[in-house]
Amino acid sequence: AQSVTQLGSHVSVSEGALVLLRCNYSSSVPPYLFWYVQYPNQGLQLLLKYTSAATLVKGINGFEAEFKKSETSFHLTKPSAHMSDAAEYFCAVSYTGTASKLTFGTGTRLQVTL
């Protein structure tokens, strides 16, 4: 089955440090890839998406992700973490012809410490 894998269910970084959240996909067809963020007791909010136009995608709140076909990866990064970035992050994948259905990874909880 086509899916996404998020490595690390919990990631902790210091404020000001680099944020790196990992996502790998498995498929034999070109994917569309998404990163969503969920703050406590809220729904999911779209951070950014890859739709084949450009491999480096910039999103909201200073986040970006790079699509690497050779590594089947779509890792999320931010140069300098803020306390407000503490949340859960989900990678998701979709494919043409699937009624826009998204398949989600299991999520990574980001903790930001002083």
Partner 1 sequence: DAGITQSPRHKVTETGTPVTLRCHQTENHRYMYWYRQDPGHGLRLIHYSYGVKDTDKGEVSDGYSVSRSKTEDFLLTLESATSSQTSVYFCAISESRGANYGYTFGSGTRLTVV
Binding site for partner 1 (CB under 8 A): 9, 32, 34, 36, 41-46, 49, 51-52, 90, 92, 94-107
Q: Which residue number, 55 or 106, has a Cβ lying nearer to partner 1?
A: 106
Q: What is the CA radius of gyration of the chain?
A: 14
Find all residues with CB under 8 Å of 100, minimum gap 6, and list them.
Answer: 94
Q: How far is the CB of 79 from partner 1 (least distance, A)?
A: 24
Give CA–CA dist 54/64, Å, rounded. Answer: 12
Q: Which residue number, 43 or 114, has a Cβ lying nearer to partner 1?
A: 43
Q: How far is the CB of 50 from partner 1 (least distance, A)?
A: 9
Q: How far is the CB of 85 from partner 1 (least distance, A)?
A: 19
The two structure tokens encoding residue 49: 């998406």
Q: Which residue number, 9 or 12, has a Cβ lying nearer to partner 1?
A: 9
Q: Which residue number, 3 or 113, has a Cβ lying nearer to partner 1?
A: 3
Give CA–CA dist 13/77, Å, rounded. Answer: 12
Cα separations (Å) of 41 from 19, 38, 87, 88? 23, 8, 10, 11
